[in-house]
Amino acid sequence: MASHTLSPFPDELLAAKKQIRERARSYGLDFFPVIFEMCDYEQMNQIAAYGGFPQRYPHWRFGAEYEGIRKRHHYGLGRIYEMVINNDPCYAYLQESNQLVDQKLVIAHVYGHADFFKNNLWFSQTNRKMMDEMANHATHVRKHIEKHGQDVVERWMDVCLSIEHLIDPHSMFMQRGPNDTPHEQPKRQESQVQRFKTKDYLDRWVNPPKALEAEAKKLKSERDKMRHATPSRPTRDVLLYLLEHARLEDWQADCLGIVREESYYYAPQGMTKVMNEGWASFWHSTLMTKHFVEAKEVIDYADHHSGTVHMPPGNFNPYKVGIELFRDIEDRWNKGKFGKEYEEADTLGEKKKWDKGLGLGREKIFEVRRVYNDVSFIDEFMTPEFIEKHKFYQYGRDPHTGQLRIISRDPQRIKQTLLYQLTNMGQPFIYVVDGNYANRGELYLAHKHNGLDIEIKFAVETLKNIYKVWQRPVHLQAKIDDDMILFSFSGDQPKQQTIHDDLPKPAHQI
Ligand SMILES: [Zn+2]
């Protein structure tokens, strides 16, 4: 697909880009070089469908994504505004039909994202050469398709993608014991037996068949030993566990490894959506308002900026929540509205007027963008005053009239709901707790209850897909309505039962 010829960059825009970049630096933003590419409407849609990368492995979901984007665009329900890739250098795409004021806005916005990618802690372990790596993945998958056929490989990729969220983004930062496997999974090649490179006629002397055979046998028995190993403690990186212990063909393991690696690459973006969009919007708005909007453009700018950050009641817009939180933090730290003395101020009036003239706001927001993720950001900085000021209430539809109405103004409840949605990107926490359950080589998973029950449909679907990888019975333990339930799947009908004392216990509990 997009081995496209991109349009040249017009001079006027090139000059604007340089100015915006230098201005952004003068405010302390710090980023990898950013390469902007001009695309037409079709190219923009294509690249967007591929998650911003010109080269991805072949899979039907990218086609489906492309159709979705085109339809949304066609019916005017959404608009691709900006696309920027975490890589060194960063890549960003500009749609050539946009007006100049829009392009400037997007450029300023992109520098905000580029700074966030480089400096936010959660991105520190991501692969900064992902452009190359994605192209690499594409080559691998194409090779497997050539050998095993499109249908077989695509069906397998479907299975892998259906469980792509079963990773542990925190594991990137863990100090590991000597028995743990590091995060990077070396790619499995078609044959794991080492052959010494040699000229053909020498081959049978340097790699005598008997020795190769013995070596292959040894490898297989080592792998068989690994197969039923139970993790030394519950592990959330289910994909790694499967890679190491499931009965997979080499090409299958390679595909699963690719899906896992891409999942780790995207995870920090999912964990910082509010902050990252908030930060980029904070900077596009600061830079544009102060420096880059000419008088004749003001109306367009205001219009387009408010398009990005507008939030109708009942909708959660990460741009809007993020930008307002950063502004609020800056204001509070400028005025010293934090700490014990402030919290204990007697009256609302006193709190409102509070201003110690500390001027610490800018420094504080840079620190926040470095160390927080969405969950800790909202947990710590979304105050009741903030919710009240911006009317971030909980809305729902009235079942009789169909009208939107406020369900709750309770700041605790509103914040908690938001945190539930954002924790683990809305995905349940699933652990491998036993790889040889009841000594039968069955896989036992457990759902960690964080206040919300797992959806039964999700539990069953996940089990069915993991069964395709494990090829032995699989179980998932989950608390539903205060009962401990065991969901099981062994290839026919899914079963569920309340966990009772007669059932064998798994190796670990969570
Ligand atoms: Zn953005």
* 182-204 per-position pLDDT tens digit: 344 444 444 444 444 444 444 44
- pLDDT at position 118 is 98
DSSP for residue 117: H
* C-alpha 278 – ligand 1 centre gap (Å): 8
- pLDDT at position 181 is 43
Q: How many CA atoms lie within 13 A of 338 on its CB side?
A: 18
**pLDDT (tens digit, 9 = 90+) per residue, 404-422?**
888 888 999 999 988 988 8
pTM, 2 dp: 0.86
pLDDT at 293 over 80: no
* C-alpha 213 – ligand 1 centre gap (Å): 55
Separation of alpha carbons 464 and 470, rounded Å: 10
* C-alpha 118 – ligand 1 centre gap (Å): 15
- Other beta carbons within 10 Å of 402: 7
Find all residues with CB under 8 Å of 15, minimum gap 6, and list them.
none
- Range in 134-138, 215-219, 369-373 the model is least confident about: 215-219
- State both tokens at 456: 């039964």
Highest mean pLDDT: which range of 61-65, 114-118, 206-210, 347-351: 114-118
pLDDT at 314 over 60: yes
pLDDT at 356 over 70: yes
pLDDT at 455 over 70: yes
- pLDDT at position 206 is 53
- Range in 78-92, 129-143, 169-183 the model is least confident about: 169-183
* 359-381 per-residue burial string, b: 16 or more CB within 10 A, e: under 16: ebbeebbbebbeebbbbebbbeb
* C-alpha 43 – ligand 1 centre gap (Å): 19
How high does pLDDT run on average in the chain?
Answer: 86
What pairing do the DSSP bridges indicate for beta strands 429-437 and 404-408?
A: unpaired
| Residues at Cβ < 5 Å from ligand 1 ion | 277, 280
- pLDDT at position 425 is 81
- Residue 180 vs residue 256, higher pLDDT: 256
* C-alpha 110 – ligand 1 centre gap (Å): 7
- pLDDT at position 478 is 96
* C-alpha 487 – ligand 1 centre gap (Å): 40
Closest CA to 464 of 453, 506, 58, 456: 456
